[in-house]
Amino acid sequence: MSHAFPVATAHRLALLAGSVLLLLQQAPAQAQTINVNGSTLTVQELVGVGRLPANQRDKFGETFGSISGLVADPASWKRRVDGSYTGSFYAAPDRGYNVAGTIDYTARLNRLDIRFKPAPSGASGLPQDQVTLTLRNTTQLFETLGGERRPLSGLDPVPGGVASGGARVVDGWPELPQAYNGKLSLDAEGIVILRDGSRLVSDEYGPSIYRFARSGRLIGALPVAASVRPIRNNVTDYSSNNPAAGQPAPAPTNPTFGRSNNQGFEGMSLSPDGQTLFVALQSATRQDGAATGAAFRDHTRLFTYSLADLDNIVLSGEYVVRLPKFVQGTSTLVAAQSEILALNNTQLLILPRDSNGLNVGTQLSLLRRVDLVDVRDATNILGLPGEDVVAPGGVLNPGITPALYAPWLDINDNAQLQRFGLVNGVVDGFDNLSEKWEGLVLLPALDRANPDDYFLFVANDNDFATTDGFQAGAAYNAGWDNPTTFLVWRVRIQQGLQR
C-alpha cells in the first residue's frame, strides 16, 4: 500500500475533532439538527408532494424523461400573497427507456414551471397536490458538424475507445464517448446553469462534463481527471455494457481502472457565489475498491473546478468522500450517491440511497437520505503522488483525510411520509416511494420572520417507466407506471463563516 501522502498527525486530528460538533437532536416533530464547522442544519417537516403522470409527453411527442439532474432558476422564484410560490426548474433526463440495451434517444433538457403551496404544519390526511408541475419546454442537445446539426444520443459508446470509433476528440476538447452511429453519447445525470447562461451537463459514460449554449448547441467540454477515466485492455473504453440491439458488448464487462459501469458523474452542483463547481462520482473507482466487491466501493471522489474565468475553467480539487454502508440480508452494501447540492464553497448536501423501492429489489428501502459533506479539512489529492489509487482493496490510504460526512435528513421517515399517503415499503392504502431519487433543489422560504428557512425539493428518476410510452420512433410498455414525484421539506440552514 502506498503512503505517498503525509500522514495526519495527532495534533491535526485533535484540531479537526475540536472544530466539528455534531448534535443529533430528536424534537417532537422529528426535527433533526446537525452542527458542522459553523453551519447548523435542521429538518422541520415534509410540507409538500406533487406528481407528473408516468405517460407525460414532451413537445417532441416522446415520453418525458423525469429527473436525473435538477436545477432552479433562482430569479423566477416568487412568494405570492396567498402563501404559495412559483418558479421554474430545469431537469436533465438520462439516456432514455432501456431494458434490453440502450436506444437512440436524443439527449435533452426540460423546463418545468411549478406552483407550490406548503401544507399546514403538523397536518395529516393530506393530498399529494401541494406541488403543481407543468412541462413548459424541451430543448434537444446537439453538436454542429460540417454545418449539419447532429443530436447527442443515449446510446452506449462502442467498446474500444478512439481506435474503434467509441470516442473522439472534438476541437481539442477531452475525449468524448461516441456511439456506433457517430453521435456523441450522453447519459445525463447533473445540470447547472453558469452566469453566462450556458449549461453544464454531467455524464455517466465518460465520465464527461459537456457545455451547451441556451439553444442546446454543444460548445465545450471540461477536463476530467485521469483517475476516473475507464480503462479496458490498456485503452480508454467508455462502454457501460449496455449495447444497443445488434451491437457488441465490451470484454471484460467492467473496466479494470476508472469508473465502474453506470457509476460516472452522478452529482453536480454550483456554489451559490458561482465560483466553484462540484462534481461527484457515484461510487468508488475500480481501483479504489469497486473491483474488490460491492461492500468496498465506498470511497468515492469529489472534484472541484474554478469558474473564475468561464473561458478557462480549471480542475482545482479532488477529494475522497466515504459513502455510508448498510446491511441487507447477509450482505454489507454501499449507498451510492445520486446527487449533490452545494451550500457554500466547502459544504454540500449529498443524496445516498440503496436500490430498493416500488417494484424494485426488496421494495423496502434501508437507506435513502440527504446528508452533509464538508471538504474544508479534507486532503486535496489532485496532482499528488498516489492520486490514481487512494483506497486499494477498499481501504483508504491513512495519509488521506476524507471529507467530513454527517447524516441528516431521512427520506424514509414514515411518520412524515404517511401524512401524505406515502410510505417506505409495501403497506396497504399507501403509495410506496420509488427507487431512484436524483434531484435536489434548495430555495428560500422568503419568510421575514424566519430568514434562514428554505424548501428542499427532492425529485425521483422514474426510469421512463410507463404502460403508454413512446421514444426513438417506437411505442413501448414498461409493464407499470412510475410517476415523476417531488417531495418538499421545510428546513432551516444557518451558515457560519467558511474559510
When pLDDT is averaged across residues 348-373 and rounded to a whole number, the result is: 98
Residue found under cell 481506435: 163
Please say whether the beta carbons of 300 and 281 come within 8 A.
yes
Dump pLDDT digits (tens) for 28-64.
334 499 999 999 999 999 999 999 999 999 999 999 9
CA distance 366 to 10: 35
* Contact present, 147 and 224 (Cβ < 8 Å): no
Residue 379 pLDDT more than 70?
Answer: yes
Of 19-23, 455-459, 491-495, least confident by mean pLDDT is: 19-23
Spatial contact of 322 and 352, defined as CB atoms under 8 Å apart: no
Let me know: does 86 contact 78? Beta carbons within 8 Å: yes
Average pLDDT, the chain: 93
What does the pLDDT average to over 164-183?
A: 95
Q: How far is CA 470 from the centre of its chain?
A: 25
Among the listed residues 317, 392, 387, the one whose alpha carbon sits nearest the alpha carbon of residue 348: 317
Q: What is the dihedral of CA 385, 239, 359, 424, to 10 degrees?
A: 20
Taking only the tens place, the pLDDT of each residue in 57-97 is 999 999 998 899 999 999 999 999 999 999 999 999 999 99
- % of the chain beyond a pLDDT of 90: 91
Question: What's the mean pLDDT in 254-261?
Answer: 98
Q: Distance between CA 54 and CA 68 in Å, rounded?
A: 15
Mean pLDDT of the 452-460 span: 98
Confidence of residue 324 (pLDDT cuts 50, 70, 90): very high
CB 368 within 8 A of CB 383: no
Establish whether the linkage from the previous residue to 255 is cis, with ω within 30° of 0: no
